[in-house]
Amino acid sequence: MDSLVIQGGTRLRGSTRINGSKNAALPIMAAAILASGPSTLIDIPNLSDIGHQINLLRELGATCERLADGSLQINVTDESNSHARYDLVRKMRASICTLGPLVAKRGYARISMPGGCAIGDRPVDIHLRGLQALGAKIELNGGDITATAPHLTGTEIFLGGNFGSTVLGTANVMSAATLARGTTVIECAACEPEVVDLANYLNAMGAKITGAGTPRITIEGVKALTGTTHKIIPDRIEAGTFMVAAAITNGEVHLQNVQLDHLMAATDKFRAIGVLVEKDNKDGVSGCIVSSLRRLEATAITTQPHPGFPTDLQAQFMALLCIADGNSIITEKIFPDRFLHVAELSRMGARLHKEGPTVIIEGQKQLIGAPIMASDLRASAALVIAGLAAKGTTTVNRVYHIDRGYERIEQRLNALGAQIQRIDQKELDL
Ligand code: EPZ
């Protein structure tokens, strides 16, 4: 198992390109199941989660091939197996977004029920409620969910839950409704840019979806969809993570392939604490320049569904606020238990007080390097970011989590001036 060894204290400077969005790519790859003929997906990042989704699609009868230009071609050639096994699903919860496409296209899906994970309980009840409303018969057998429907029928569906809407639930129901008979209206749909990207892909395949990006999505069912070519949107969470890395090191970094309009809540917080964020659309490529020259100020953050502040940047901002001037407060409203980074940041000298879903952060002048343990994808990113600013050496163990969502992160940060070495854990134990 790999560890990242970080020598803190260098300012990040230079330019890097942000990859295509993991969380847009995963449901779009699943939706390729709905089509006849190949889809070519451009800017699919090279991540372990994408590898797991490719393995699952292959098991479900699709060929998946990386073309010379790096795009991914998916073509379903065999519809005989519609069973997503536990050993594939447990590696990546996003495999649940094959459920809607499978039942809509093949009339049957069997998917192992995903378990909880490091960021807390992750139920799928709203996904199931939505598919049931479309007419699918849902059963739970031996830990597997089965969904059966000779055909789906359009209807009105409310997809709200106690923590707002559901991103992958909206993806599942919207994808399934494209092939339903009649019209489906989803109320309280997730408004995340990844849902809009999926709707754009489905529409390019022949679906009739309007309203994606708003809480009401209308889907007029069509008889069939055909494969198409689609470019994945830039990863707003990867962009936000590099922005925090630039800010915490008082650096100046140019990020290419960023859609700042997908990051408005985060940009607002950056500016509120004293980070300069400027749009930079050179040569028709959208991007931004992030710089900070002084000690940052404290702030209050509450995570919310889009367009509110994203839960997927909560841990990274906590690392940043650990060294801000004054006391900050972060409240997590999407995944109230998503705080595994708190104990690890505390090992680096951060002063954090957790009370339920809220953490009070007493800003310190400096963090001190320490051996720490990565627990989930975004917490791992936060710990690497903390290590960039800390005095001395930080060793982040179990970094396989980070490879799920960030491609070659240490190489890309090193190209900006960071000093990070990837080491096999065994070498550290010697
Ligand atoms: C997506 O997960 C993302 N994953 C997550 O990113 C992200 O944190 C999350 O959306 C919120 O933005 C992917 O896109 C692959 P939800 P998703 O359903 O769709 C509750 C990362 O780090 N809920 O929108 O699974 C749920 O417990 C990952 O890249 C139900 O109660 O999240 C949570 O409190 C981690 N019942 C809230 O809704 C359900 O049926 C929002 O979760 C579904 C969800």
Band (115; pLDDT cuts 50, 70, 90): low
User: Ligand 1 centre from 164 Cα, in Å?
Assistant: 10
Give the ligand 1 atom nearest the CA of 119: 35
- Return d(Cα 261, Cα 255) in angstroms, integer: 14
pLDDT digits 0-9 by tens, 5-45: 999 999 999 999 999 999 999 999 999 999 999 999 999 99
- Give Dmax (Cα) for the chain: 65
Which pLDDT score is estimated for 357?
97
Q: Are 305 and 164 in contact (CB under 8 A)?
A: yes
Which pLDDT score is estimated for 176?
98
Which pLDDT score is estimated for 117?
67
Going by alpha carbons, the residue nearest to atom 39 of ligand 1 is 124
Band (284; pLDDT cuts 50, 70, 90): confident
pLDDT digits 0-9 by tens, 174-210: 999 999 999 999 999 999 999 999 999 999 999 999 9
Q: By three-state DSSP, how is residue 321 classified?
A: helix
Task: Write down the pTM of the prediction.
Answer: 0.97
Mutate to test the pocket of ligand 1, among 167, 198, 263 (most ligand atoms within 8 A of CB): 167
pLDDT digits 0-9 by tens, 209-242: 999 999 999 999 999 999 999 999 999 999 999 9
- Return d(Cα 86, Cα 235) in angstroms, integer: 28
DSSP class per residue in 148-216: E-SS-B--EEE--BTTB--HHHHHHHHHHHTTSBSEEEEES----HHHHHHHHHHHHTT-EEE-BTBSE
- pLDDT of residue 121 exceeding 80: no
Locate 289 and state its tokens.
């320049």
Which pLDDT score is estimated for 116?
60
- The residues carrying an active-site annotation are 117
Mutate to test the pocket of ligand 1, among 166, 237, 304, 375 (most ligand atoms within 8 A of CB): 166
Q: Are 341 and 319 in contact (CB under 8 A)?
A: yes
Tell me the average pLDDT across 352-370. Answer: 97
Percent of the chain with pLDDT over 70: 98
Band (91; pLDDT cuts 50, 70, 90): confident
- Return d(Cα 122, Cα 181) in angstroms, integer: 30
Give the ligand 1 atom nearest the CA of 124: 40
Give the ligand 1 atom nearest the CA of 94: 15
Going by alpha carbons, the residue nearest to atom 35 of ligand 1 is 312
